[in-house]
Structure 1
Amino acid sequence: MAQFESLIWTIPIILVLESIGSCIACGRAEYRIRDECCPMCSPGKDPLFTSYDSPDVNTSSTLTEKHDIVILFSPGNRVHRHCTEFTSTSCVPCVDSTFLDEPNGLIKCKVCTNCDPGLGLKVKQPCTPSSDTVCGTLEGFYCLDPTKDGCRAAQRHSGCEPGQYISHTGTTSTDTVCAICPDKTHSDGSLTSCQPHTECEFLEIEPGTPWSDSECGVASLPTAGIIAGVLFFLIGTIDGVCIFMRRREIGRNIKNLGKMTGIVFVPFIVFIACDIQFTL
């Protein structure tokens, strides 16, 4: 009877101890699977010390007298087989654009991030088994969702409108800043400073605007005015010639008219024309 009572008290104690043991947290470099605290697979940043019964061909390891394995700077690894009471965790490297960047007890690696050009992104640092892809911004874009080392989404720099100038050029982290052109200046939106309007020397065809320069031209006389001016010049010239000829040649041409009919025929005609012109 006493033995039976002792057994009754022993069983609960054993169950409590097992429960307490199962609640004890695993170490920093371990993960729990069932009732076992299994060594994590290393991403290659820090060496991990695990117990094992033989060297693992899938890791860069050395076997000591105590059958401890030191996983030294191997690439990102995932769990191939969980540990048991007699064997340690079996790890294999991440492959095919996958990675794990922390010590883990995962059986699958994470898929590398895709830097989508449609989101304004490009590859800044390629993915490795132990690190994810780092994305940067395409030329002419700025980051909307920055990360520690890169960017998750970007947007194209804003364009300035006609009548504005680029006050601050856009960067990978900031958008373009536009400002309005002051009075008597202009810009088509692509300039970093507004240009002054041209001052026309003769004629202003179109006045300048904030988005366009002044349009200048040369003043032109009407066609009728040009013709009248030419005729006035010709008439004045003929009159001058006629007056000169009248003073110097009229007398001599009259005296010699009979003797030199053939020679003075032309001057005589000019004389008659000049006389008519002078009369008019």
Structure 2
Amino acid sequence: MRATLYFYAVGFYHFLSVGSTCGPSEYSSAYGECCAMCNIGSVVRSDCSGDLSTTCKPCSPGTFMNEPNGLHQCFACKHCAESQGHYIQSKCTSSDVLDGYYCIDYSNSQCHHAEKHRVCRPGQETKTLWTKASDTECVDCVHGFYSPSGLNCIKWTDCAARNEIQTEGGSHVKDVTCEQKPKERYGLIDLITASEVRKANNAKEKK
């Protein structure tokens, strides 16, 4: 039954749009005006007219609407006949919030408008993950920490603790750069050179 209603809705949208110049998020009213569609979980209460926008109403319990639409009635939920061995696999609702979105307009136990959750930028970390009722909370990394992906702030590497020297400073988005210390190989050369100089001086004095 739900599939039949879905195809009926698709056909209805096609009927409304044929021959009209309405946008993809609009429908043609009975008076030929392009009106804004209602969101998932709601249908048209009254069409737009002149300067007045479309007004929408939420689907009542036992009905649903699974697409943006210009319809005036919600679809009836299918009733499972337990006496015939059927059971409710998933409860029929007017709408639900997609993964990655959170509801910003919630009333009468239904979400009427949802927005995509925020993604923390590099240089920030995720303080609180999003839910279907709240957005992601991001905070900036404090000095001495960096975050290249926007997930977690990581402390700058301590070059001295690794017996290395710092050659480039860090920032909110990248770590410091460490390099190995130059090897101390000049001490023996200096001693050999000094010894050769003494020998040369002694040779001059003997002459």
Select the structure with the greater relative contact order (CA < 8 A; seq sep ≥ 6): 2
Larger Rg: 1
TM-score (norm: length of structure 2): 0.45
Which structure is higher in helix share? 1
